[in-house]
Structure 1
Amino acid sequence: MSLRPGPIDVHAHWLPQHLFGLAPGSPLPPLRDHQGELHLGELPLSIETEAMSDVSRVLADTDAAGLGARVLSAPPFAFPVAEGDVDEFVGSYNDDLAQVCRDSDGRLVGLGLVSLHDPEAAAKQMAALAGTDGIHGIAMPPLLGTASFDVDPMREIVGAAADLDLAVLVHPMQLPRPEWSSHYLANLIGNPVESATAAAALTLGGVLDEFPTLRICLVHGGGCAPALVGRWAHGWQQRADVRGAGTRPPREMFSQLWFDTLTHDVPTLQLLRAQADPAHLMCGSDYPFDMGTATPLELPRAAGIDDAALEANARAFLGLDTGEHHE
């Protein structure tokens, strides 16, 4: 399946209504529609239900945003983070996502789910996804319990994704902590910290050394990770426990990571550009969440990143071509 020309939004969410009950063992209450608005249990999410689940609405909003195509992945509350039999949920989501992408006339691409606690099952699921038209990778949380990508099972899963030439998109879970119980801080602080934790695990944990072909994207501009690279580099020089797992300094490893441009302001995006490989920056909207944007091209354009670069970089991330990247 060939994508429609134009900028590609790599960070957008979709979940069919029949899976609103979420994965077995989910610590969260099921989703539900209430008068056209999406609720997580009794909590309103400030999202129109059809924007999360109705493909015709997704396509209309994709066109309105001036995008050529959009990459759909599950919202983070649908990640199968609990141990147990989640294979049926994962398979159902992946099958539905593939059908939606195949029917989109090159306007939608998918990133599937895997059984996070079972690397053997995940490897089989990824092998199936690798042969599925319209699917080009998987989406994962940055943490599974208290662990990230530097240890199994997360490490083994991304290694298998690299072997299968699948892209990986990492989306934070907004995990609760008592000190973040007010002012929406579980999102405003928690999400950027989760992404930074994943970036540290990948760069300091030797993961990118072991899997040099891994294409892994941290959304929301990598959270607070770009502001911490210098600190990590200093720690790598000074402390054996920081440099024990990797062979190259953090700044060099950081350039292997991919990011979306959803940083919310130009100065933060400019910091990301200074720390990351500019050829690894892609448009992201976080559609349809309220912390996202309906106009995802405005910010990168304001920072001097043109549409052609965003499209070329996203195509490379998705494995759609190996042509020249743009900066």
Structure 2
Amino acid sequence: MQKIDIHSHFVPRGWPHLADAAGPGEWPWLRVDSERDAMIMVGSHEFRQIGANCWDADVRLAEMDADGVTMQVVSPTPVFFSYEKPGVQAARVARIFNDLALEICAAAPDRLIPFAQVPLQDPDAACAEADRAVANGHRGVEIGNHVGDRDLDDEGIVTFLQHCAERGIPVFVHPWDMPNSLRLDRWMSRWLTGMPAETHLSIIALILGGVFDRVPPSLRLAFAHGGGSFAFWLGRFENAWRERPDVVGVSAHPPSSYLDRFSVDSVVFDPKALRLLVDTLGAERVMLGTDYPYPLGERPAGAVVNRSDFLTDAQRSAILHGNAELFIGLGSRVEQERILLT
């Protein structure tokens, strides 16, 4: 059975000195430790150890083959978003990394599907870079789930989402820039608790901020990491919308009315959690994702989907590849419905 992984990341093995290319400031850079190992640095601080599977297409393709992955969406690593910088600087950085992504994916254009980053803090520049990237070969964009204190219901971000809906550009939302504190510095807690909470918060913002009431249903929108904690707490959300309309009842319809407006990936690591996603959103709204090549991702790809014996063959097929074909733009809604009904 085919597998399309909609959640993976890349890091080039090198890029121009960003202070020269984009302007003064503290920028990410790569400390190359060997032919196969490197460290992403931010200023003088170590951010993440990475390996050749981040930049070497041959290594990536070999590991895809080992996992039976047919195609892989290759998205930026969020540390490079540069949302805290002026828009003009972030736009220059986006161009650099988007062009480098095309170089990596050129090794297997039928299997490696590049998604671009954009300077989301500047709506006009974000729309322009999305158009430029798609014209050059990118198939969609990855954005962070917020820009500072601006969530996905911010007017500028809504303008960008409307633009993507009009142009048919799929948008993959990834949590990033989680809150930090002494409590969250232990045990990778920013990743273990902050990422699910960030994603949940941004889905709430889309609903209560009225974004789904304003953006066309044609927008193809997906969230990483199973949508965070959203599915588990939908009942609490729904109850609050009904019981406290003075505070929560902002959207035109109850939260559960918007479940067909977005998709999530399958990186939840446990069949019980995957079952909750399928029961809540429907199998047609869940797509295979791995967070490859990072250590908190799933290997082999699709392990949880394959272990989930509650899925029908049609549902498993949809999650492993059919839904992603629709999201990326390789298939049609009619074909997706045929798969689910088979």
TM-score (norm 1): 0.90
Q: Does 2:173 match 1:167?
A: no
Structure 2: how far apart are the matches of 1:61 and 1:9? Answer: 12
**Map of 1:239-250 to 2, 5 A cutoff?**
239-244=245-250, 246-250=251-255
Q: Is the 1:174–1:187 Cα contact (8 Å) retained in structure 2?
A: no
Partner of 2:304, secondary structure, is: helix
- Are the structure 2 counterparts of residues 158 and 232 from structure 1 closer, same or farther at C-alpha, using a change threshold of 3 Å? same
Q: Does 2:61 match 1:32?
A: no
Structure 1: how far apart are the matches of 2:140 and 2:133? Answer: 7
Structure 2: how far apart are the matches of 1:277 and 1:99? Answer: 36
1:82 corresponds in structure 2 to 84
Which of 97, 100, 118 is matched with 1:96 structurally? Answer: 100
- Are the structure 2 counterparts of residues 98 and 44 from structure 1 closer, same or farther at C-alpha, using a change threshold of 3 Å? closer
Q: Does 2:20 match 1:17?
A: no
| Aligned residues with identical type, % of pairs | 26
Which of 267, 273, 277 is matched with 1:272 structurally? Answer: 277
- Are the structure 2 counterparts of residues 276 and 112 from structure 1 closer, same or farther at C-alpha, using a change threshold of 3 Å? same
Which of 4, 10, 13 is matched with 1:8 structurally? Answer: 4
Aligned-partner residue type, residue 167 of structure 2: L
- Are the structure 2 counterparts of residues 273 and 164 from structure 1 closer, same or farther at C-alpha, using a change threshold of 3 Å? same
- Are the structure 2 counterparts of residues 270 and 27 from structure 1 closer, same or farther at C-alpha, using a change threshold of 3 Å? farther
Structure 1: how far apart are the matches of 2:273 and 2:172? Answer: 20
Aligned-partner residue type, residue 34 of structure 1: D
Structure 2: how far apart are the matches of 1:250 and 1:26? Answer: 41
Q: Is the 1:21–1:31 Cα contact (8 Å) retained in structure 2?
A: no
Structure 2: how far apart are the matches of 1:92 and 1:29? Answer: 13
Task: Give the greater-gyration-radius structure (CA).
Answer: 2
Q: Is the 2:145–2:151 Cα contact (8 Å) retained in structure 1?
A: yes
Q: Is the 2:287–2:318 Cα contact (8 Å) retained in structure 1?
A: no
1:316 corresponds in structure 2 to 326
**Map of 1:250-269 to 2, 5 A cutoff?**
250-269=255-274
Q: Is the 1:233–1:249 Cα contact (8 Å) retained in structure 2?
A: yes
2:148 corresponds in structure 1 to 145
Q: Is the 2:207–2:258 Cα contact (8 Å) retained in structure 1?
A: yes
Output one character per residue of 1:273-294: Cα deviation in whole Å (capped at 9) or x when no partner: 1111321211101011110022
Partner of 1:189, secondary structure, is: helix
TM-score (norm 2): 0.87
Q: Is the 1:219–1:262 Cα contact (8 Å) retained in structure 2?
A: yes
Residue range with higher mean Cα deviation, 24-33 or 212-221: 24-33
Query: Any stretches of 5+ residues in structure 2 without a counterpart?
Result: none
Aligned-partner residue type, residue 96 of structure 1: L
Structure 1: how far apart are the matches of 2:148 and 2:229? Answer: 21
Q: Is the 2:57–2:105 Cα contact (8 Å) retained in structure 1?
A: no
- State the 1:154 CA deviation: 2.0
Which of 191, 196, 219 is matched with 2:195 structurally? Answer: 191
- Are the structure 2 counterparts of residues 168 and 83 from structure 1 closer, same or farther at C-alpha, using a change threshold of 3 Å? same
Aligned-partner residue type, residue 222 of structure 1: G
- State the 1:103 CA deviation: 3.7
Structure 2: how far apart are the matches of 1:299 and 1:104? Answer: 27
Aligned-partner residue type, residue 314 of structure 1: A
Structure 1: how far apart are the matches of 2:200 and 2:80? Answer: 21
Aligned-partner residue type, residue 55 of structure 2: S
Output one character per residue of 1:277-318: Cα deviation in whole Å (capped at 9) or x when no partner: 321211101011110022121111222342454211001011
Output one character per residue of 1:177-231: Cα deviation in whole Å (capped at 9) or x when no partner: 2121111101100111111111111122211221122111111101111111111
- Are the structure 2 counterparts of residues 287 and 171 from structure 1 closer, same or farther at C-alpha, using a change threshold of 3 Å? same
- Are the structure 2 counterparts of residues 176 and 293 from structure 1 closer, same or farther at C-alpha, using a change threshold of 3 Å? same
Q: Is the 2:288–2:319 Cα contact (8 Å) retained in structure 1?
A: no
Aligned-partner residue type, residue 278 of structure 2: R
Aligned-partner residue type, residue 254 of structure 2: P
Structure 2: how far apart are the matches of 1:27 and 1:8? Answer: 36
- Are the structure 2 counterparts of residues 92 and 174 from structure 1 closer, same or farther at C-alpha, using a change threshold of 3 Å? closer
2:227 corresponds in structure 1 to 222
Q: Is the 1:196–1:224 Cα contact (8 Å) retained in structure 2?
A: yes
- Are the structure 2 counterparts of residues 205 and 188 from structure 1 closer, same or farther at C-alpha, using a change threshold of 3 Å? same
Q: Does 2:310 match 1:306?
A: no
Structure 2: how far apart are the matches of 1:197 and 1:208? Answer: 15
Residue range with higher mean Cα deviation, 218-227 or 16-25: 16-25
Q: Is the 1:6–1:308 Cα contact (8 Å) retained in structure 2?
A: no
Q: Is the 2:81–2:90 Cα contact (8 Å) retained in structure 1?
A: no
Structure 1: how far apart are the matches of 2:193 and 2:16? Answer: 27
- Are the structure 2 counterparts of residues 24 and 319 from structure 1 closer, same or farther at C-alpha, using a change threshold of 3 Å? farther
